[in-house]
Amino acid sequence: MDFERARAVAGRWRQVDATGSTNADLVAAAAADAGLPHLTVLLTRDQRAGRGRLDRVWRAPAGAALAVSVLVRVPDVPVAARGWIPLAAGAAMARAVARQLPGHDVGVKWPNDVLVGARKICGILAEGTGSLDAVVIGSGVNTAMRAEELPVPTATSFAALGAACDEDALVADYLAELDRLLSALGAGGEAAADVRAAVSGSCVTLGRAVAVSLPDGSTLRGTAAALDEDGRLVVDGRAVSAGDVVHVR
């Protein structure tokens, strides 16, 4: 696949047969070349040392998943609003996935795991580049992974759902929506408020009983009520900026 549609949206495009981590490669490329444009993309179907949040290792059989990292330049997004950048990426990917899975419930588990029903189809990791105005956002999407290849019972894939993923359309839709949301965040005012509302609307964690494993090793249990102005999850009045969320049935 030549990703014709996605290339047309990207600021710069690089596709490789295999790599350790698209995020690590793109962060290094950004450090070496300050002129990399907004929406520079690095993509592979064979990522061998991917990383998720909380330093988890992300692995998938070659050809079974799509790893795509995007450099975004956000000079207009206020520092106080930058916690919304990875949340916006989750909402953008959820919309791209939903377009290909009509009839399925697609949403985001805070902060940015894309779920189909209760199962994860995509994980997202945002990383700094050393520049305040540039962020690398990596996504791992389970595309052709067979049910028996899924790493955990709480995961899913397009193939496991009986769907063939149009990878070109998926990436093109994701890039376009991500760009739109980030531009709106940078515009501030009502445009930024609309982004926050869209992210909250896509977040299936809100209103749920949750157990949040916090970085200090403790667990916070309660009801996820809202996202605050910084994008933090508010659980029984306490704002959480980082943690592993489990939806309690």
Cis ω for the linkage preceding 37 (within 30 of 0): no
Amino acid at residue number 239:
A
Residue ranges of the domains in the chain? Answer: 4-202, 209-247
CATH number of 4-202, picked from 1.10.8.60, 3.30.930.10, 3.20.20.450, 3.30.390.30:
3.30.930.10
- 223-242 pLDDT, tens digit per residue, is 999 999 999 999 999 999 98
Reference 55, options 211, 215, 203; nearest CA is 215
Distance CA 28, CA 71 (A): 11
Compute the average pLDDT of residues 101-118.
96
Q: Specify which residues 107 forms β-bridges with.
A: 115
Name residues whose C-beta falls within 8 Å of residue 162's C-beta, 6 or more positions apart in sequence.
Answer: none
CA dihedral 48, 52, 57, 61 (to 10 degrees): -40
Give pTM, 2 decimals: 0.94
What integer pLDDT is reported at residue 249 of this predicted model?
A: 65
Is a pLDDT exceeding 90 seen at residue 70?
A: yes
Contact predicate 220/241, CB 8 Å: no
What DSSP character marks residue 130?
S
Distance CA 80, CA 229 (A): 9
Is a pLDDT exceeding 70 seen at residue 1?
A: no
